[in-house]
């Protein structure tokens, strides 16, 4: 298994986020019901909400059997990460077509291993966690291959997987900069800024509100949320 920036599965709600650069966030006219749009492909807010809810339940169940239980995490944080993973997969699919690459045997074996770890979950919970894991694994697998192709063009042979992945990320950034990739403002993701920002239509006033926009909200912020808005509560 390639232990790069995107891990196949951790018993954690915080699925690693690799933010793209170069794309923008749609303004107030973003179509209601859409979480994101990559070209002519869309992800609905309903789907993001469903995956987030079921993934939270599944990860909570897995966490109970772990020697390192997960700390309480706002559902909004998990929702942002779900959205990012799904968007990244759509972009990676476009790049895979451009470079004529397909998934490797390692990708398939990694998914099989992850599926075994999820065997204790219900159907909906397993499907939700698996969808995000699969999205991350697909993006990583494709970018490593593309990065290797680009490095060979530069005369670099025998490069390390990490270097290939990093080069693949550069290709992804360039693709996003030249294509339409929009994220619903409600998720607070400005992928062109290099990190999450406040893109909501209201203004966060006070430290407590600003904490909610962080990728790692403070314990005080999380503790103040109602239980139904927190995973691992």
- The burial of 223, by beta-carbon neighbours within 10 Å (0-12 exposed, 13-18 middle, 19 or more buried), is given as exposed
Partner residues linked to 36 by β-bridges: 43, 183
Mean pLDDT of the chain: 77
What are the pLDDT digits (tens) for 48-71? 999 999 999 999 898 886 777 778
Q: How far is CA 188 from CA 74, 112, 175, 199, 220, in A?
A: 14, 33, 22, 5, 20
**Whether this model's pTM surpasses 0.75:** yes
For residue 140, the tally of other CB atoms under 10 A from its CB is: 27
Q: How distant, in Å, are the alpha carbons of 28, 141, 199, 202 from that of 33?
A: 13, 30, 17, 18
Per-residue model confidence as pLDDT tens digits over 12-55: 333 333 434 434 444 445 677 999 999 899 999 999 999 999 99
H-only helix segments in 65-197: 75-99, 105-117, 123-153, 161-177
- pLDDT tens profile 221-232: 676 666 577 888
């Amino acid at each position: 298994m390639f232990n790069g920036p995107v891990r196949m599965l951790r018993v954690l709600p915080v699925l690693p986020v690799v933010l793209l650069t170069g794309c923008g966030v749609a303004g107030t006219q973003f179509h209601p019901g859409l979480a994101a749009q990559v070209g002519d492909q869309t992800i609905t807010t309903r789907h993001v909400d469903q995956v987030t809810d079921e993934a939270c339940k599944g990860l909570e169940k897995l966490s109970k059997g772990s020697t390192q239980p997960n700390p309480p995490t706002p559902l909004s944080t998990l929702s942002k990460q779900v959205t990012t993973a799904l968007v990244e997969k759509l972009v990676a699919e476009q790049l895979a077509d451009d470079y004529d690459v397909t998934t490797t045997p390692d990708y398939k074996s990694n998914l099989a291993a992850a599926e075994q770890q999820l065997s204790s979950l219900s159907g909906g919970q397993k499907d939700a966690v698996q969808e995000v894991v699969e999205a991350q694994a697909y993006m990583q697998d494709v970018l490593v291959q593309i990065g290797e192709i680009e490095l060979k063009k530069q005369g670099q042979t025998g490069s390390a997987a990490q270097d290939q992945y990093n080069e693949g990320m550069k290709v992804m950034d360039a693709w996003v900069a030249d294509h339409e990739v929009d994220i619903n403002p409600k998720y607070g993701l400005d992928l062109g800024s290099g990190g999450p920002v406040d893109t909501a239509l209201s203004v966060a006033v006070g430290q407590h509100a600003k904490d909610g926009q962080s990728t790692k909200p403070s314990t005080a912020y999380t503790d103040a949320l109602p239980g139904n808005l927190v995973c691992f509560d």
